Amino acid sequence: MSNFRFVIGRFLGAIPTLLILICLAFLLVKSAPGGPFDFERSLPEEVEANLRAAYNLDDPVYLQLFKYIGDLLQGDFGPSFQYRDYTVTELIATGFPVSLRLGTAAIFLALIFGSIIGSVAALNQNSKLDYSVMFFGMIGISIPNFVMAPLLVLFFSIGLKALPAGGYNGGDFYHMVLPVVSLALPQMAYIARLTRGSMIEVLSSNFVRTAKAQGLPTRSILLKHVLKPTLLPVVSYLGPATAAIITGSVVVEQIFGLPGLGRYFVQGALNRDYTLVMGVVVFYGCLIILFNLIVDTLYGFIDPRIKQNR
Amino acid sequence: MLLTQKTGQEEMTDLLTTKNLNVSFKSRGETIHAVKNLSFSLRGDEVLGIVGESGSGKSQTVLSIMGLLEANGAASGSAVFAKKELIGLPTNELNKVRGNEIAMIFQDPMSSLNPYISIGKQMSGVLKRHTKMTNKEIKERCIEMLHSVGISKPEERFDGYSFELSGGMRQRVMIASALLTNPKLLIADEPTTALDVTVQEKILDLILDVKERFKMSVIMITHDLGVVARTCDKVLVMKSGELQESGDTEAIFYSPKADYTKELLEKSKEINLDDQQKYTETQDANIKNSLVKATKARVSFLLPKKTLFASENVLTAVNDISMETLDGEVLGIVGESGSGKSTLAKTILGLQKLTSGQVEVFGERLAAINKKELKEIRKKMQVVFQDPFSSLNPRMTVFEILKEPLDSFFPSMTKESAQKDIEDGLMEVGLTPEYLGRYPHELSGGQCQRVAIARALMPKPQLLICDEAVSALDASIRGEIIELLLRIKSEKKLTMIFIAHDLAVVRKICDRVIVMQSGKVVEQGPTEKVFFEPEKEYTANLLSAVPVPDPKIEKQKYIKRTET
Amino acid sequence: MKNTNSLLNDAWAALSKNKAALISAATMVLMVLMVLIGPFFSPYAIDETDWYKIAAPPTLFDGHIFGTDDLGRDLFVRTMYGGRISLMVGLVATMVSVMIGVTYGAVAGFMGGRVDALMMRFVDVLYAMPFLFFVILLMVFFGRSIFLIFVAIGAVNWLDIARIVRGQTLNIKGKEFVDAARSGGVSTIKIIMKHIVPNLLGVVVVYVALTVPQVILVESFLSFLGLGVQEPMTSWGALVNQGARQMESSPWMLIFPAVFLATTLFCFNFIGDGLRDALDPKDRTRGND
């Protein structure tokens, strides 16, 4: 029963964040000069009519806000400003599956490889292997993915001609390799450093010393005593990591010409498609908040010290 | 492998013999010899104490035998346990011995247990590793062992976690884990140093008890001669890695041969609690006025709520206390951790608000005065804290640290007279003006504490509050600082409130003493009276729990404890 | 100021042992010199079109040592000017971040209790926002003045610093020397100025060094998407964008700005890391051995 209360509590805590996000986005659009609510520019009649209907522009502001939230809850993001024939919802529905594929693969790659590399470095602390891992880790963090991606393309596509330079092609392996890797690399590097630092700290803790004194073999100590405390900070980091991958996907999709949500977002930004842009921000924002919620809750179930307080 | 078999013939043979054991460390290009050519032997049924100050190598000795040295450490020589040479033994062979035939418990029970795994899992791990018992048998044995070390509700504790337990209970769990495989030897590295005195007594008794029941040998490592006197049959005295003397406990204590042993015994006897002095009433003709007077003072804290719906938790650190400090006296406040003594000190200093009741300092009610008046009072009342390093601002030089109280209390002082006052102040605490330009991290613990004392004396206060002022110092430095405080007290006719958990120190310097427990005053009175004719049981227990460096007396105390 | 003397000494002593950090620091000094005086060595201007040499590869002979871009502009000069913008944004936006973050964190830490809890809850809420998206929104809606870029980027990054400063403030507040100062009659203002702030400097310096690369990254990101500085000004991010589009035919357009950008980020991260190891506000415990 207290488990349930815990989850509800966390859930309730996330709602203010969601509300602020939506309000902020809404207010931004309302106040933007040259935006859809600035009728200095003359708009095509249909769009203006659509907008007036969708946003009830004759009502007081807070009512407009409620309507907007109400629409959101029904999955209605309003009409696209630029692509006249489509609603934002439809555009999101088209682009999201691509981004989802890209992002999920990147997160898994970053998480798995990052933690393995970091662990190996920690177990061989101060060796050549360790230093090279740290060095490459630093490079990985420093080089932005919009620099890494073109360099990878330069090398693998133009140089080696082994992989395609762009295009989605239904998301097959060859077309996804470079995008996923360039998206994952900075996070992989960060997670590797994080894991390494965490494991080094755990390895030097007193309870590991106790385990050694009890005659437990190294493998046992690693699996039973070291693994969990090492990975807890990594689990914590999953939230920000996802946010970073979502942000990074904007650029990666642009570079590789993948028809994902990020690409729509950038096009929308450049074309001043306000509703689309706002819709994507709210959508992604909710996604991030939801994901943080899940990770947070998961963490509460894994760390026994928090478990106690449930 | 079944649990270690014991034949009952253990007493006859040497269980552990070391020959020319050497331990060295490579640190920053230098080699440090922590243990030099140590040779000793341990029989199968005795408690061997290894005693020495910090840096003596006592811990490194046993860590090298257990193969637990740090990566930059190396051991050479021989250590034969039950006919097996341990030094140089490959790890997988060593793992069959440690945790199985030799078990070890450490100094800090708070961090020696894994907080992320249940206690049951940790204990089971030992049996799973060394025996072929079934899960059911393992669980039964663990619970049985928890019970036999005095842990109540062992089934619940088995599934629980270490952070739910107090320090003393965690140490019991460590002991229980150590006993699971019926080891021949238990190594205890300063097992009670981090525990309160009354808890220490129980844990030491427990160790002796299990030694008998399980027919083990024990190596007890400590810096406290009282602990040695209480628990050990034989003693090794070490200094800077070298063996100074070894022998039976009574021989070491009553007829020491080595100079260092004599020196150690001297230092510990200075503050001996069990002198059979008679308490005599002395009449003091003058009626002294109270500088500090607390009446039903209460300080409560609201603990953060665990969940939104939980009820509020209140911690009452100071629970309706009434006490006073008379002009010219040294008042001791003793208590174990959680007694509220530090909170009381902070309240008197005006650093902590009262929840109810009243505290008068120099005749003024603290709750009723304004900032300006408080500052005037603070001029007369200063404090020295426990941790010499965190009581000085690491970004200020000694000069700036000492100048600050002058700036705040005597703003119109000229630069020259301030300089003179500061230099005088330094000399008074035994430091020279060359220290003025130094930063705290360049000083030792003792020197930092001297600076802290000098800072406290700058405004020429009448009352000095020492909150565990010597507790964090090495034993050898402690004596010097105590001497300094006593000298200053008599030279400047100061009134002192001396807060400590170390009864021996309190006895040495305090005229009157207040004993606190859980926020309440248990007993108060002249020091000699409280110490020799305590009225309350808690006080008596507290006093007798302090181990005294006299084996015969300790034996009597032990008999008394175990017959009730 | 006697206070910072010891801090500088510590920083120097520890940094000088960290080879990577030293090399990075030296590289950065070199970099700054290059971007400031580099253009004076070249006969070309930032937007001057050399009609004879459109998209020419790098050569030593005619002064186009980095080559030219697809509009015939000298890449070396553009890279240097781009560096000025990127570094300037890095510095200014970091200052904005630091000012907001330090003030917020110090106030929260010092006030403690309910105020602190509320303030940090606010930070937690903001942390969950896809901030970069909001910055992009701001760029889209309100135009691309360089001033807005500074403020927007600065406003994004202050959260980390606020958290760290608040933690450190709480840490310092609990130290005994603060209690000793209060007993010593020192006023609250003086306690903040003389005791708390100097002990915060260490942490702040570390995070300044670590924030600069993050900020440069954000600016590059925006420029890459076409939302950053406008022509004729350029930044490394914009140059990388242009270079990426031409990389099949003129790889030098990508490589030079990319290398400069990556090296700068790299060096600052190393310096920040080194400083963090050096000035780690762990108590200096004397070895009790």
pLDDT per residue over B328-360, tens digit each? 889 999 988 888 888 899 999 888 888 888 888
Q: What Å distances lie between residue C34 and A225, A237, C41, C80, CA to CA?
A: 52, 38, 10, 7
Residue B11 carries which DSSP code? G
Long-range contacts of C119-126, Cβ-Cβ distance < 8 Å, separation of 24 or more:
C119/C166, C120/C163, C120/C166, C123/C159, C123/C162, C123/C163, C125/A16, C125/A17, C125/A20, C126/C159
Asked if C171 contacts C260 with a C-beta cutoff of 8 angstroms, the reply is: no
pLDDT of A64 strictly over 80: no
Pick A47 or B337 by higher pLDDT.
B337
Distance from CA of C173 to the nearest CA of A (A): 26
A-chain CB neighbours of B118 within 8 Å are: 304
| Amino acid of residue B196 | D
Distance from CA of C272 to the nearest CA of A (A): 12
B-chain CB neighbours of A217 within 8 Å are: 92, 95, 129
* Residue C24: HSE in the Cβ half-sphere, 13 Å Cα cutoff: 27
Residue B401 has φ and ψ, to the nearest 5°, of -65, -40
A-chain CB neighbours of C127 within 8 Å are: 240
Pick C242 or A48 by higher pLDDT.
C242
The tokens for B280 are 């005599």
Helix, strand, coil percentages for chain C (3-state, nearest 5) = 75, 0, 25
Pick A27 or A52 by higher pLDDT.
A27
* The pLDDT value given to residue A117: 93
Cβ contact, residue pair C184, B346, below 8 Å: no
Distance from CA of B115 to the nearest CA of A (A): 8
* The pLDDT value given to residue B3: 61
Q: Which of A45-59, A211-225, B522-536 has the highest mean pLDDT?
A: A211-225
Q: At what angle are helices B135-148 and B167-179 packed, to 10 degrees?
A: 130
Residue B385 has φ and ψ, to the nearest 5°, of -95, 180
| C240 vs A: CB within 8 A | yes
CB proximity list for C215: less than 8 A, separation 6 or greater: C89, C90, C93, C94, C97, C153, C154, C157
B-chain CB neighbours of C283 within 8 Å are: 389-390
* The pLDDT value given to residue A183: 92
Helix (H) or strand (E) holding B498: strand B495-500
Q: What Å distances lie between residue C122 and A230, C118, C126, CA to CA?
A: 29, 6, 6
Residue A18: closest CA among A287, A276, A296, A294? A287
pLDDT of A81 strictly over 70: no
Helix (H, G, I), strand (E, B), or coil: what is residue B316?
A: strand
Of the partner residues B116, B125, B129, the one whose CB lies closest to the CB of residue A304: B116
Cα torsion for B48, B53, B56, B59, to the nearest 10°? 50
pLDDT of C285 strictly over 70: no
Helix, strand, coil percentages for chain B (3-state, nearest 5) = 40, 25, 35
The model's confidence at residue A285, banded by pLDDT at 50, 70 and 90, is: confident
A-chain CB neighbours of B114 within 8 Å are: 207, 210-211, 225, 229
Residue C243 CA to residue C237 CA, distance in Å, equals 10
Of the partner residues C184, C286, C289, the one whose CB lies closest to the CB of residue B404: C184
* The pLDDT value given to residue A36: 52
Q: Is the dihedral of CA B81, B83, B88, B89 positive or negative?
A: negative
Residue B193 CA to residue B59 CA, distance in Å, equals 13
Q: What Å distances lie between residue C128 and A291, A296, B284, B287, B404, CA to CA?
A: 10, 12, 70, 67, 44
Residue B222 CA to residue B226 CA, distance in Å, equals 9
Helix (H) or strand (E) holding A65: helix A61-73
* The pLDDT value given to residue C156: 73
Cβ contact, residue pair B378, C183, below 8 Å: yes
pLDDT of C211 strictly over 90: no
Of the partner residues B92, B163, B164, the one whose CB lies closest to the CB of residue A217: B92
Cβ contact, residue pair B439, C6, below 8 Å: yes
**What angle (nearest 5°) sits at the alpha carbon of residue B266, between those of residues B260 and B272?**
145
Strands (E), B313-408: 313-326, 330-335, 356-361, 364-365, 381-384
Q: At what angle are helices A88-123 and A274-302 packed, to 10 degrees?
A: 40
| Rg of chain A in Å (alpha carbons) | 24
Query: Taking CA atoms, what residue in A is nearest to C257?
Result: A147
The tokens for A111 are 């998480």
pLDDT of C283 strictly over 80: no
Task: Go through B315-353 and write b for each residue having 16 or more CB atoms within 10 A of its CB, e for each that does not.
Answer: ebbbbebebbbbebbbbbbbbbeebbbbbbbbbbbbebe
* Residue located via tokens 């999920």: A104
The tokens for C253 are 């357009």
Residue C193: closest CA among C201, C183, C185? C201
Between β-strands B463-467 and B495-500, what pairing exists: parallel, antiparallel or unpaired? parallel
Cβ contact, residue pair A214, B125, below 8 Å: yes
pLDDT of C109 strictly over 50: yes
Of the partner residues A5, A210, A310, the one whose CB lies closest to the CB of residue B106: A210
| B108 vs C: CB within 8 A | no
The model's confidence at residue A111, banded by pLDDT at 50, 70 and 90, is: very high
Distance from CA of A239 to the nearest CA of B (A): 22
Q: Is the dihedral of CA B367, B515, C180, C276 positive or negative?
A: negative
Distance from CA of C288 to the nearest CA of B (A): 7
pLDDT per residue over B73-122, tens digit each? 889 999 999 888 998 889 889 999 998 999 999 998 888 999 999 999 99
| A84 vs B: CB within 8 A | no
What is the mean pLDDT of the segment spanning A162-186? Answer: 83
The tokens for A214 are 């009890």
Residue B186 CA to residue B179 CA, distance in Å, equals 8
pLDDT of A40 strictly over 60: no
* The pLDDT value given to residue B170: 92
Distance from CA of B137 to the nearest CA of C (A): 42
In order along its 564 residues, chain B shows pLDDT tens digits of: 346 656 555 555 788 989 899 999 887 778 889 999 999 999 888 999 999 888 888 999 999 999 998 888 889 999 999 888 998 889 889 999 998 999 999 998 888 999 999 999 999 999 999 999 999 999 999 999 999 998 988 999 999 898 888 888 999 999 999 999 999 999 999 999 888 888 999 999 999 999 998 889 999 999 888 899 999 999 999 998 999 999 999 999 999 999 989 888 887 775 554 444 444 445 455 667 888 888 888 888 877 665 555 566 788 888 888 888 888 889 999 988 888 888 899 999 888 888 888 888 888 888 888 888 888 889 999 999 998 888 999 888 999 999 999 999 998 889 899 999 999 999 999 899 999 988 888 888 889 999 999 999 999 999 999 999 888 887 778 888 888 988 898 888 889 999 988 888 888 888 899 999 988 899 988 988 888 888 888 888 888 888 888 899 888 888 888 876
**What angle (nearest 5°) sits at the alpha carbon of residue B406, between those of residues B401 and B410?**
165
Query: Taking CA atoms, what residue in C is nearest to B53?
Result: C289
CB proximity list for B446: less than 8 A, separation 6 or greater: B388, B473, B474, B477, B480, B481
DSSP code per residue over B12-40: GSEEEEEEEEEEEEEETTEEEEEEEEEEE
In total, chain B counts a number of residues equal to 564
| Amino acid of residue B470 | V
* pTM over the 0.90 mark: no
CB proximity list for B393: less than 8 A, separation 6 or greater: B401, B440, C177, C181, C194, C195, C198, C199
| Amino acid of residue B168 | G
* The pLDDT value given to residue A165: 76
* Residue C197: HSE in the Cβ half-sphere, 13 Å Cα cutoff: 10
pLDDT of A139 strictly over 90: no
